[in-house]
Structure 1
Amino acid sequence: MSYTIEKREKGYLLFTITRSEKRNAINYEVMEGLREAVNRAADSDIKALIITGEGSQAFCSGGDLSVFHLLHTKEEAYPMLSMMANILYSLLTLPIPTIALINGTAIGGGCEIAAACDFRLARKGIKAGFVQGKQAITTGWGGGSILAEKLSAASAMKLLMEAELQTAEDLKNAGFFNALFENDSLQACEVFIDKMVTKDVSVLQSYKKVWTRKWEETKLRERIEEEVRNCSLLWESDAHHNYVKTFMRKKTMDKE
């Protein structure tokens, strides 16, 4: 399995991507696992959902190009992009607190997953970034539209358009990371959510509706759909295909 889902004593659900050998890159199995976690987190006895990655090297390195490089045209790319965007919108609007526990590097789609969570906790010293621009595409899972809801326009545009890895400290200053930790990641996260999970779940759900109502009224789902379609157009460009070919060639050389 590429993931685990565990219910913890404190009343939260823990979803872990277990592909450390692939820097916890997203494949179709991880997508289905994340969908399952979101569905299970809707149970009445779950008060929070925590998403993390196995090991200490990577939280999530985005989409697994060794899988998705087989997608060439916009017609081939769109179903994958749309499926993950739907999952992330469900994560975004889950009626309980959600936390991205960023234990290592977060790249591209990994940052989109983090953006869809209510809170982002990161290990000091790690780097993260919306690097899709270097691949000649944009965020394609809704991350750009979601980021625009979470940060100021200038901060969000800078992160997306520069497409560079940033330090955890810079991302905290930008407002993307809510807190930084040094030692045991899960312990740090439990301390962060401790006061929340002691509250009645109906209170948590009522407060979360403040934001989900806003996103419904501003048609965020429709804006995400437009982002997905724009990314699928860029996906079939020569510039993106050339990036993927270079990436795959480098991976082959590294194995030799």
Structure 2
Amino acid sequence: MIFTITRSEKRNAINYEVMEGLAEAIKRTAEPDIKALMITGTGDHAFCSGGDLSVFHALHTKEEAHFMLSKMAHILYELLTLPIPTIALLNGIAIGGGCEIAAACDFRLARKGIKAGFVQGKQAITTGWGGGSILAEKMSAPSAMKLLMEAELQTAEQLKEAGFIDSLYDGSPLQAGEGFIGKMLGNDLSVLQSYKRVWIRKWEEAKLRERIEEEVRHCAILWESDTHIQYVKKFLSKKTVNKD
């Protein structure tokens, strides 16, 4: 199954409709003929630029922010623990929440030359969809901390060296994804599911879901801070000027 974010005019930013679409795609993977899920974005410029601030700027209090953050965190935990292989096909830039979606997938393929980064720190917030907790499970502590705390965009090549990206490609992202996962799909679905459950059990024993919920709460508190509110206002005013 292929799930494509089709908001190229917004650099494939996440709004509530995209959330619902991803949740529906995850549910449909339970169909017996689905052996893997690939996620990508439309166009050549962006995989996903994170949460759409033009939509989420209306969230002012930590309670309002917590509703949105926990909703997406729940979806990403469902994605993380799907009992089939999942692949993020980074066809373009991935920013903030876009990297959190990629982190929740089992494998990350990136087109050569793109950039990606957990830039939430520059917005005076943290990862709020579970990305930080997921990175703590999938990368070494120094590498994960560096990505999160520097909050900078890096090239796909740098991210491969750091261990976040698994493979680089040229050309079609779907062809790259099919080539990467082809040998896996040659095996019986029950084999793929049995192996995936090895990691799911590990994450359950590590209380990853509870840690993600705590991450969401901390981000919600920062969301209503004056620093973050000012960042959002500056971002939206800049977009308005550019549009004018």
Quickly name the TM-score band, shorter chain normalised: over 0.9
TM alignment of 1:190-205, pairs within 5 A: 190-205=178-193
Match of 2:197 in 1: 209
What percentage of aligned pairs have identical amino acids? 78
**Corresponding position of 1:99:** 87
The residue identity in structure 2 corresponding to 1:24 is: N
Secondary structure of the corresponding residue to residue 121 of structure 1: strand
Aligned partner (choices 216, 224, 229) of residue 236 of structure 1: 224
Compute the displacement of 1:45 (Å).
1.2
- Normalising by structure 1, what TM-score? 0.95
Q: Which residue of 2 aligns with 1:135?
A: 123
For each residue in 1:69-106, what CA deviation from the matched residue of structure 2 results, as whole angstroms up to 9, or x when unmatched?
A: 00000011001000000000000000000000000000
Q: Say which SS state the counterpart of residue 141 (structure 1) adopts.
A: coil
1:106 partner SS: strand
Work out whether 1:115 is the aligned partner of 2:103: yes
Equivalenced residues, count: 244
Cα deviations across residues 121-179 of structure 1 (Å, max 9, x unaligned)? Answer: 00000000000000000000000000111100000000000000000000000110000
How big is the alpha-carbon RMSD for the aligned residues of Structure 1 and Structure 2? Answer: 0.4
For residue 159 of structure 1, the aligned residue among 147, 164, 169 is: 147
Task: State whether structure 2 residue 165 is matched by structure 1 residue 177.
Answer: yes
Specify the code of the residue in structure 2 equivalent to 1:41.
T
Query: What displacement does 1:239 show?
Result: 0.3
Confirm or deny: 8 A CA contact 1:58 1:103 kept in the other structure: yes
Q: How does 1:9-88 map to 2 (within 5 A)?
A: 13-88=1-76
Q: CA deviation at 1:44?
A: 1.6
Structure 1 alignment gaps of length 5 or more: 1-12
Partner Cα distance (1:184, 1:89) in 2: 28
Candidates 172, 175, 191, aligned match of 1:187 = 175
Q: Secondary structure at the match of 1:59?
A: strand
Aligned to 1:147: 135
Contact 1:107-1:129 at 8 Å conserved across structures: yes
Q: Which runs of 4+ in 1 moved over 2 A?
A: none
Question: Retained in 2: the 8 A contact 1:130–1:159?
Answer: yes
3-state DSSP of counterpart to 1:239: helix
Quick one: distance in 2 between partners of 1:219 and 1:56?
A: 37
Q: Which amino acid aligns with 1:150?
A: K
* SS at structure 1 position matched to 2:47: strand
Shift of 1:188: 1.0
Gapped regions of structure 2 (runs ≥ 5): none
SS at match of 2:14: coil
Residue equivalent to 1:227: 215
Displacement, 1:184? 1.3
Give, in whole Å, the separation in 1 of the partners of 2:230 and 2:76: 28
Distance 2:170 2:5 in 1: 21
